[in-house]
Structure 1
Amino acid sequence: MAELDLRWFDNPEDERQLKQLVDSIDVLDANNLSSNDVRQLLDVFERFPDDDGFESFWGIVHVLERAGGYESALVDSVLRSPGEFNLMMINRLLNGGIKHAGDQSLLSLLEDVARSARGNPNPARLAKHFVEYQRNKT
């Protein structure tokens, strides 16, 4: 199977591109994702940190979660460019009882993002929300 290349995707509001993105995700075999495939999928979140592609980005979440083994790449993605979907995936890992990806504490990662707006206050606000949620869980 050819390596996934989603660099062409440059407009999360373009109906044609969104259909092509969904089609590209739908043909992926979650059991055989390469590290490049994972990186390409997470890169969509990094390039569009405040978008959801009219909910088409959920397909990325689902294929990655089915595949597993993406956690370290997800941490790297958040470190490069925190956004709605990669932060939400960190929160979902914590909800599932996964506290670390390698040596990285996932809660500490959210706390770091919550303290640093990096020019965009939305990720910091969302990370703060997830930190508060995780701390208040029983």
Structure 2
Amino acid sequence: MPRKIKTIARDIAKFAPDDDGDWRRLDVLLDELWQAGSPEQAIPEMLSVFERYPEEDGHGVMWSLVHGLENLPNYESALLSSLARQPSELGIVMVGRMLNSGATSVDGVSLLLTLQEISSTATSTHIKEIARSVLSRPR
């Protein structure tokens, strides 16, 4: 019997790579989430992974989050809220991809101003550099 989305979402929210740095369990959870249907119900939990591991790509596993989120309706506002709580490399990359697709704002929030704020206020030098890099790309 498939597990309920709330249970899967809770497991995603609690996910941590194992002691060997293995992220495959997250991949399994994401597959399970999509198979359960209505993965948009777990957008906050998925974004919480970016917030807990802001400078990680999970050996490529977190790109599954990027692609999955981008295929869901109305994830953009939640992404900006996540970035306001904890700027993350892949969250910034997603904003850059939104800009590349022609978007300039989400719910009245400027994407460029969001990146500018991150580039000047983030505590991580790496995160600041990623935001500056995305800002410097021609549109």
Q: Does 1:121 align with 2:128?
A: no
Q: In the alignment, what sits opposite 1:25? A: 30
Q: Does 1:78 align with 2:118?
A: no
> 1:61-103, CA deviations, whole angstroms, 9 ceiling, x for partnerless residues?
1111111310000000111111111000010111111111101
Q: In the alignment, what sits opposite 2:136? A: 132
In structure 1, runs of 5+ residues without a counterpart are none
Q: Does 1:49 align with 2:54?
A: yes
> 1:3-25, CA deviations, whole angstroms, 9 ceiling, x for partnerless residues?
1112331237632xx22210111
3-state SS of 2:17 partner: coil
What does 1:94-113 correspond to in 2, within 5 Å? 94-113=99-118
Structure 1 consecutive aligned stretches of length 4 or more whose deviation exceeds 3 Å? none
1:10 to 5, 16, 41: 16
> 1:20-71, CA deviations, whole angstroms, 9 ceiling, x for partnerless residues?
2101111233972344x00000010010011110000011011111113100
1:38 to 43, 53, 70: 43
Q: For the residues of structure 2 that align with 1:101 and 1:86, how far apart are their CA atoms?
A: 14
Q: What is the root-mean-square deviation in Å for CA atoms of aligned residues?
A: 1.8
Shift of 1:130: 0.7
Letter in structure 1 aligned against 2:5: A
In structure 2, runs of 5+ residues without a counterpart are none
Q: For the residues of structure 2 that align with 1:96 and 1:64, how far apart are their CA atoms?
A: 15
What TM-score comes out, normalization by structure 2 length? 0.86
Q: Which moved more, 1:24-33 or 1:56-65?
A: 24-33
Equivalent residues of 2:118, 2:131 under 8 A apart: yes
> 1:98-122, CA deviations, whole angstroms, 9 ceiling, x for partnerless residues?
111101011110011111132x111
Bigger proportion of residues as helix: 2
Distance 1:10 1:29, change over 3 A: closer
What TM-score comes out, normalization by structure 1 length? 0.86
